[in-house]
Amino acid sequence: MNVNLAKSFTDQMKSNAANNRTQFKQYLKSLKDSGIDVIIMPTTPEVARDIVSGEAKCGMADLRSSLQMSQFTSLANLLDVPAITLPVGHDATHDMPVGLTVMSASQ
User: 81 near 106, Cβ under 8 Å?
Assistant: yes
User: 83 near 41, Cβ under 8 Å?
Assistant: no
Which pLDDT score, from 0 to 100, does residue 48 have? 75
How distant, in Å, are the alpha carbons of 41, 42, 51, 59, 98 from that of 46? 12, 9, 15, 19, 9
Distance CA 98, CA 49 (A): 11
What are 14-50's pLDDT values in tens digits? 899 899 999 989 998 899 999 999 999 999 888 877 7
- Percent of the chain at pLDDT > 90 equals 34
Which pLDDT score, from 0 to 100, does residue 60 have? 58
User: What average pLDDT does the segment 57-79 reach?
Assistant: 76
What pTM was estimated for this model as a whole?
0.70
Least confidently predicted of 13-27, 63-77, 92-106? 63-77
How distant, in Å, are the alpha carbons of 11, 23, 68, 79 from that of 16? 9, 11, 19, 15
What are 82-91's pLDDT values in tens digits? 999 999 999 9
Least confidently predicted of 20-24, 72-76, 96-100? 72-76
